[in-house]
Amino acid sequence: MTLQRLPLLRSLGTRPPADAFADSPQYRDGSFHNSRPSRMVEETSRASIARDFARKGRTGKPSGPVPLATPALPATADQCAATWLGHATVLLEVGGHWVLADPVWSDRVSPASRVGPRRHHPVPLALRELPRLSAVLISHDHYDHLDTGTIEWLARHQEVVFVVPLGIGSHLRHWGVPEQRIVELDWGQSHTVDDLVLTCTEAQHFSGRLFAPNPTLWSSWVVAAGERRVFFGGDSGWTDAFEAIGSAYGPFDLTVLPIGAYDKRWPDVHMDPAEALRAHRVLGGNALLPIHWATFDLAFHRWAEPIEWLVREADGVRVAAPMPGQRVTPDGALPIDAWWSGPGR
């Protein structure tokens, strides 16, 4: 399905009030900060990045159609499963609850409808085909993780709570999400829906949709119900915080970790596949579901390089490599067929 095109200014969202989160340990001098020093893209690198993007051609794109699976969802959510819908959008099943993480159904990840990174493949599940959700999780406010059109659709058609890091509530209110359905959390805080516990945990990243840098917080998430636990990494560079998260909340039946859009010019805010494997191990993960690749061209590596690298260096890690739309159950056999290397790709 095609989402309605939205005015550019509406898609930008809105900045939270100044010093609204002054009590947060992550907030100072008018913006949020990582707990450890992290290098962002330096001003001297911006020109080289723009030059490389202009020259990269089809390096980050598949040479043929991306194969999709038609999601085979059960009538009720299982105790632990995940359906990868492309990039960082994942439909989780934990303790009988449906939880949708970083939902993006728009064709482009951009405030504009005609420019910006465009999908390599359709979303394999229509929004109207989603089950009744217990919660929507957002990791941060970048366009490839927080999509205006998708949020507005979910606000109209599902009676679901949006659980987000500090500051992102301002965007949601601007887009018409009712106040009583917005829960904003700092790192270490939790929200409960029946027996489902959603804990906001640390990530190493940044935020902003066009405003001054880092106006809202970024996070990873622990999704737990009963004895089942899933870690959703969202978007993050490697951080020692993963070890603390593993000690406090692990072990995890499933870790959902980003593996793509890495580059030597921003090593602290995007993990590469080797760092994702390291994170999985210190988190105490059983199975690893890699995300943040295959759908949008956001860096300079080859399209399939992240998954090839991950599989090559897995070294005993139980990696699930589903095609978009394919459901993963960490207790069973994991999909690992190299669908990304077929004819035309």
Kindly give the confidence (pLDDT) of every residue in the chain, 345 residues in length, as a single tens digit, with 9 standing for 90 and above: 557 656 677 889 999 988 899 999 999 999 999 998 877 655 446 566 667 766 676 888 998 999 999 999 999 999 999 999 999 999 999 999 999 999 999 999 999 878 889 999 999 999 999 999 999 999 999 999 999 999 999 999 999 999 999 999 999 999 999 999 999 999 999 999 999 999 999 999 999 998 678 999 999 999 999 999 999 999 999 999 999 999 999 999 999 999 999 999 899 999 999 999 999 999 999 999 999 999 999 999 999 999 999 999 999 999 999 999 999 999 999 999 999 997 556
| Number of domains the chain is built from | 1
Is 48 a domain residue?
no
- Is residue 252 one of the residues assigned to a domain? yes
Look up the CATH number of the domain holding residue 115. Answer: 3.60.15.10
pLDDT tens digits, 164-191: 999 999 999 999 999 999 999 999 999 9
* Model pTM score: 0.95
Range of 247's domain? 65-341
Specify if 154 maps to a domain: yes
Residue 58 lies in a domain: no
In a domain, 42, yes or no: no
Handedness of CA 245, 100, 78, 185 (dihedral sign): positive
The verdict on residue 313 lying in a domain is yes
Count CB-CB contacts under 10 A for residue 198: 25
Q: What single DSSP character describes residue 169?
A: H
Q: In this structure, is residue 39 part of a structural domain?
A: no
Token couple for 322: 């589903």
Q: Is 148 helix (H, G, I), strand (E, B) or coil?
A: helix
- Whether residue 17 lies inside any domain: the answer is no
Burial class of residue 221, CB neighbours in 10 A (0-12, 13-18, 19+): buried
Secondary structure class of 224 (helix, strand, coil):
strand
